[in-house]
Structure 1
């Protein structure tokens, strides 16, 4: 059930200049002349005195080790090496700091921007339901919680590498070495539902999901799949989701194909994730279908691997933990699994792929976190649908979208833009809430605005449940607040609201046909 495509393995090994330690003789000093700096392993006081006498300068005398670092002539050093009570003499070589790599996928989804903003996922729990996790890996140790084996192996340690790779994508430590994850300080839990051969049973996967839910973990990351469904796995997905777990699953590696999303990704209570390459194209191997909810980087992803090393793998298995790490970030900030799911949807970036390929779009971690208002208000951040050259500004619980002069009007036809509100609005069926429209003077006699509110989030305005507010506002009116009636069948509690604004502006009587630009026209959703 696993998806795996190994690249060239890279190990986290110190680079040491000079020779290795020698039992006898002079390591790394062949042909040396003049003054040299060496480490001398001594045995007893006589050897220490001999090293001191040979030295022009004692650089370091270790208190707890029978070692001295000295500068001396090459001739004197070679004489020391011949003494029986000198254990070794080696050149005092250098080691190099291992720079941390920013994998292209982490960069592409702007997770690094989120890190610089202080978002780390601290306090969230991610269950990696996979082949296990390497508990000794230096990039994962600090974030590792507990684990459980469901495969019959007897240990949740990773004997394959796939689970460790996924864990690093989701949540590798930001520690100046190795790699960094989407989240950096969440707690990882290893549910070993796949054996060291990369396969497992439906029952094992279901047991892992049940465990994640019963433990109260925030995210269950499933980089695995099967071509056919399982009622047992579906029951487990539903159980986990209904108990507050954000279930994320890889769409599958059956591409190129259509309508071939695997299971459990195809279940409605799981987020199905497709794969993109570094040029924002769909990965050739990625499964597609109407169930795809988000796209994320999956081609040639560099991450942690079994044995303390690193490897480059490709697959929707790699896409899945990108979304899992982002979900953990949102839930660490107080969002529920359903709120986090809606936020990820509404802030995804449209990269021009088909809806069956990208779903709502490419994961955008920074936008999702920037849109998170802790459960209050609404930020309209779907910038991919704004006219080119426009931008947004806003404060907590409010966002202002400015439509600039490039949306010029040459006819009476209404223009429109869609704004997806990332922050949930608390509503009650049959109740109401307010939308505030702020019209700045653009030099026109009148502004006409229609506001449509879609409760279904189905991306199809023709079939959406809509509330329409119409207003004719003259130049001497700067703001207008409309009360939006909540349908009796609207979802209860906190929900996302998608708003479409259409407008028409003209200079002079409409009969003259003197239409112009819309300048500094803003809409505020509070």
Structure 2
């Protein structure tokens, strides 16, 4: 239903490039993303020109100074092989996948002696800490006083984003709070409290990212002169472009700290970039000073820090407990901030933490030099630590606000499902209305909000929903509103309704029923970032990441003026895709200075529709 004044120019046909994902679950394998998304390390300007000339599209260019540079983008295999032979090219490698290292749950701040350091006046004032992650919620009351500038490799995509580098997940905000939450007599307190935090958003709200994107973020932070670069992320495969970036940052004077990984129990399993010698690799301990069961170990581990059930900040002014080497890492980053705020160089701060670490009896491959000890690093007396549980002015653990979690949908049929949730804390509220929000994936404008119960104590709740469409993926999350106006939403989850196949008995001996359920596996698609935005045109990008059980799909873009979905446009002259890969189109004839919403969509031969999450762009003024 394209309008007459909208014209389109298809730029790409199907190419075999898979999704570049950054999963937030612990211990998942990662590696080569696909055969046609590469990073080309260049030694001279001529090499960069050759890389850009041979690229089907360029995602980013990175400058490592005297070492050279890198061009990341999409290349045919033949062009990649040709570039490998170019004397001005240092390496050609796949743009590897990385992932954030978090599981799910501030005793740790006290355990590492940070409170004693604060009492001595060592709070990190004057230091700059870059958090490379999903972003930082700059409006959080425990962070807003410390948040400085930011940088977005991946832009924040959500209704509550106030900047491109805002957090649309919570992982980055949680890490930021551990490193540098302010001491404001509420919420939580960080290992440092006076440093400046910088959000370097290299992961999307879905946890997607790339090695070249991480390298770009590292390089940006180094070029700003930031003292600490904290990375609670990584992958199984070595990446030359990230190695270039960490070497560049170290030479610029930064300390780079990274999570060892959540592959435990295991042997010699430290993940990249923590595995690089320029990086402080951090393992995780529990509250008994034992190695956390999920923690990766290996000879590269340099320090251990608390990583189990760590309470910290999350998006929306709330607090949650998370576990992972992701949580251990910002303890060390905050400690580096304290030392560099006191005037130490990067090499001096790193050596000081090694020299003062506490031996807690673990093997060298588990604790490295030992457990982080900030108090000893700044010369504070351990007796100054206000860890007396009877001390009224210093609670052992800050209060938790209203919080709710989302469970996995059950009893999913063609037109209904049971949605579970749990109210985990009332905070200061005496009771809370609890329920769910749900909508078809890619169509948040159709969101339904339904109350399930009124609870006066924490506990589980559920809601049976019906009237849904068959063969459609729905997004849902639990939500709670307290009688003190506090609010919280659980993490978003998805489920896909079944097909219209009538009654389906499970008896495998029934000759009229196939062994396989009549519930087709839907394709999945990602909406990419709009590019080359002008006053009347734009290039829209999408990626088919999984065909599901379809043999082919028709990719299209659906777009409309924000707030006026009745003027929806889509693509008429589409083509079929028979394997995963990117697709795009140029849309022309748009109105200047106008915000549009767009969605990448794939339609199967039998009419099923898969959509990515909606994104926005605003055309330039005349």
- TM tier, smaller: 0.5 to 0.7
Partner of 2:170: 161
Determine helix, strand or coil for the equivalent of 2:316: helix
| Alpha-carbon distance in structure 2 between the residues aligned to 1:165 and 1:341 | 24
**1:484-503 matched pairs, under 5 angstroms:** none
Determine helix, strand or coil for the equivalent of 1:345: helix
Residue 183 in structure 1 maps to residue 192 in structure 2: yes
**1:244-323 matched pairs, under 5 angstroms:** 244-323=253-332
| Alpha-carbon distance in structure 2 between the residues aligned to 1:208 and 1:368 | 29
CA shift for structure 1 position 228: 1.0
Tell me which structure has the larger Cα radius of gyration: 1
Determine helix, strand or coil for the equivalent of 1:188: strand
Which residue of 140, 145, 157 corresponds with 1:142?
145
Which residue of 120, 130, 135 corresponds with 1:132?
135
| Alpha-carbon distance in structure 2 between the residues aligned to 1:203 and 1:152 | 15
Whether the 8 Å CA contact 1:343–1:371 is kept in 2: the answer is no
| Alpha-carbon distance in structure 1 between the residues aligned to 2:280 and 2:353 | 10
**1:108-127 matched pairs, under 5 angstroms:** 108-127=111-130
Residue 228 in structure 1 maps to residue 237 in structure 2: yes
Residue 218 in structure 1 maps to residue 221 in structure 2: no
Determine helix, strand or coil for the equivalent of 2:257: strand
Residue 173 in structure 1 maps to residue 182 in structure 2: yes
Whether the 8 Å CA contact 1:219–1:246 is kept in 2: the answer is yes
Determine helix, strand or coil for the equivalent of 2:100: coil
Whether the 8 Å CA contact 1:203–1:233 is kept in 2: the answer is yes
Partner of 1:6: 104
| Alpha-carbon distance in structure 1 between the residues aligned to 2:145 and 2:290 | 35
Partner of 1:362: 371
Normalised to the residue count of structure 1, the TM-score between the two structures is 0.52
| Alpha-carbon distance in structure 1 between the residues aligned to 2:196 and 2:278 | 23
CA shift for structure 1 position 371: 8.2
Whether the 8 Å CA contact 2:283–2:366 is kept in 1: the answer is yes
**1:361-380 matched pairs, under 5 angstroms:** 361-370=370-379
Which residue of 204, 219, 225 corresponds with 1:195?
204
| Alpha-carbon distance in structure 2 between the residues aligned to 1:309 and 1:321 | 19
CA shift for structure 1 position 171: 0.2
Whether the 8 Å CA contact 1:2–1:199 is kept in 2: the answer is no
Residue 207 in structure 1 maps to residue 224 in structure 2: no
| Alpha-carbon distance in structure 1 between the residues aligned to 2:156 and 2:289 | 39
Deviations 1:231-285 (A, max 9, x none): 0001001100111000000000000001000000000000000000000000000
Whether the 8 Å CA contact 1:5–1:314 is kept in 2: the answer is yes
| Alpha-carbon distance in structure 2 between the residues aligned to 1:153 and 1:136 | 14
Whether the 8 Å CA contact 1:343–1:368 is kept in 2: the answer is yes
Whether the 8 Å CA contact 2:155–2:201 is kept in 1: the answer is no
| Alpha-carbon distance in structure 1 between the residues aligned to 2:239 and 2:128 | 26
| Alpha-carbon distance in structure 1 between the residues aligned to 2:156 and 2:371 | 37
| Alpha-carbon distance in structure 1 between the residues aligned to 2:318 and 2:156 | 22
CA shift for structure 1 position 4: 2.3
Alignment RMSD (CA, Å): 1.4
Deviations 1:32-85 (A, max 9, x none): xxxxxxxxxxxxxxxxxxxxxxxxxxxxxxxxxxxxxxxxxxxxxxxxxxxxxx
Structure 2 spans left out of the alignment, 5+ residues: 1-98, 158-163, 383-622
Whether the 8 Å CA contact 2:130–2:229 is kept in 1: the answer is yes
Whether the 8 Å CA contact 1:170–1:321 is kept in 2: the answer is yes
Alignment size in residue pairs: 278
| Alpha-carbon distance in structure 2 between the residues aligned to 1:297 and 1:109 | 8
CA shift for structure 1 position 151: 1.5
Which residue of 337, 341, 344 corresponds with 1:328?
337
Partner of 1:431: none
Whether the 8 Å CA contact 1:6–1:311 is kept in 2: the answer is no
| Alpha-carbon distance in structure 2 between the residues aligned to 1:120 and 1:198 | 31
CA shift for structure 1 position 153: 4.2
Structure 1 spans left out of the alignment, 5+ residues: 8-102, 373-380, 382-526
CA shift for structure 1 position 308: 1.0
Partner of 1:511: none
| Alpha-carbon distance in structure 2 between the residues aligned to 1:333 and 1:135 | 25
Determine helix, strand or coil for the equivalent of 1:107: helix
| Alpha-carbon distance in structure 2 between the residues aligned to 1:118 and 1:106 | 16
Whether the 8 Å CA contact 1:261–1:291 is kept in 2: the answer is yes
Determine helix, strand or coil for the equivalent of 1:189: strand
Alpha carbons of structure 1 residues 161 and 137: separation in structure 2 relative to 1, 3 Å:
same
| Alpha-carbon distance in structure 2 between the residues aligned to 1:108 and 1:371 | 14
| Alpha-carbon distance in structure 2 between the residues aligned to 1:210 and 1:343 | 25
CA shift for structure 1 position 119: 1.1
**1:388-403 matched pairs, under 5 angstroms:** none
**1:375-524 matched pairs, under 5 angstroms:** none
Deviations 1:216-241 (A, max 9, x none): 00000001010111000010011001
| Alpha-carbon distance in structure 1 between the residues aligned to 2:240 and 2:380 | 36
**1:30-179 matched pairs, under 5 angstroms:** 103-153=106-156, 155-179=164-188
**Large movers: runs of 4+ above 6 Å:** none
